[in-house]
Amino acid sequence: MTPSQTTLREIPQTSVGKRPRPASQPRASAFLADIILGGQDGLVNTLGVILGVAAASSDPRIVIAAGFAAAIAESISMGAVAYTSTSAAHDHYRVEHEREQREIREMPGAEEQEVRAIFAGWGFSGDLLERAVAQVTKNEEAWVDVMMRNELKLAPIEASNAGRIALVVGVSAIIGSLIPLLPFLLLPLGVAVPSAMALSALALFGFGAYKARVTVGVPSRSGLQLAAIGIVSALAGYFIGALFHAPVTP
């Protein structure tokens, strides 16, 4: 379709013209991202702690206690970070939204020219371009929406979502932390260490592959990358713990 054949209904996503799309898709993608974020961070950090403690001590009770302590602390920390970052993003959007409103009221000519440049970049020209600009700029809410989404690349963030996101990330961190802990609850210490590493690598591979499958990327490559990064990071804890290894005295 040539630019002259484009209609106003085909303006990209704004409050003026909406492209059909499943309403649940962005929310589902964000929900998945929160789960993976909490799960993989909880897993890697807890694995690093318990490997380090296992390398330094031969007492499985100490290893398990350290693992649960790391899991709880990581869950609270991740949830708090998710809450504050979401709240900060909401505040940033609100401030930029107010600034755009002020600029539209104080400098309408300059802001209208920015809308014209955005639409020209989409392929609009001539009379169709002018009608599209006029359609948007006659409604302040639509005008601000176009500027927020296409000039500043910002989407609205609900402050009420901060608590939900924090809960999802925090619970996911606990669940992820339990993966490397499980072998230490069921197996002798010598067997639990390699078992925890293998189980964690498998889980991380699954995280990466699934994320790539539902978003973008090659599942196998994404899975291997995440597994490698996670295991290397956790091994750092093991080597540090080995420096403090206390030999068992008779």
The three-state (H, E, C) secondary structure of the chain, written as one string? CCHHHCCHHHCCCCCCCCCCCCCCHHHHHHHHHHHHHHHHHHHHHHHHHHHHHHHHCCCHHHHHHHHHHHHHHHHHHHHHHHHHHHHHHHHHHHHHHHHHHHHHHHCHHHHHHHHHHHHHHCCCCHHHHHHHHHHHHCCHHHHHHHHHHHCCCCCCCCCCHHHHHHHHHHHHHHHHHHHHHHHHHHCCHHHHHHHHHHHHHHHHHHHHHHHHHHCCCCHHHHHHHHHHHHHHHHHHHHHHHHHCCCCCCC
What is the CA 167 to chain-centroid distance, rounded?
14
The rounded percent of the chain whose pLDDT value lies above 90 is 8
* Predicted pLDDT at 174: 92
* CA pair distance 15, 23, nearest whole angstrom: 14
The sign one gets for the Cα dihedral 216, 43, 202, 56 is positive
pLDDT in tens, 135-157: 888 888 888 888 888 888 877 77
* Predicted pLDDT at 68: 92
Average pLDDT over residues 106-126: 88
Q: Please state which of the ranges 159-168, 209-218, 226-235 shows the lowest mean pLDDT.
A: 209-218
Residue 181 — pLDDT band, cuts 50, 70, 90? very high
* Predicted pLDDT at 4: 40
* CA pair distance 136, 73, nearest whole angstrom: 49
* Predicted pLDDT at 29: 67
* Predicted pLDDT at 10: 42
pLDDT of residue 18 exceeding 50? no
pLDDT of residue 244 exceeding 70? yes
* Predicted pLDDT at 40: 84
Average pLDDT over residues 196-201: 89
The rounded percent of the chain whose pLDDT value lies above 70 is 84
* Predicted pLDDT at 121: 87
Higher per-residue pLDDT: 14 or 97: 97
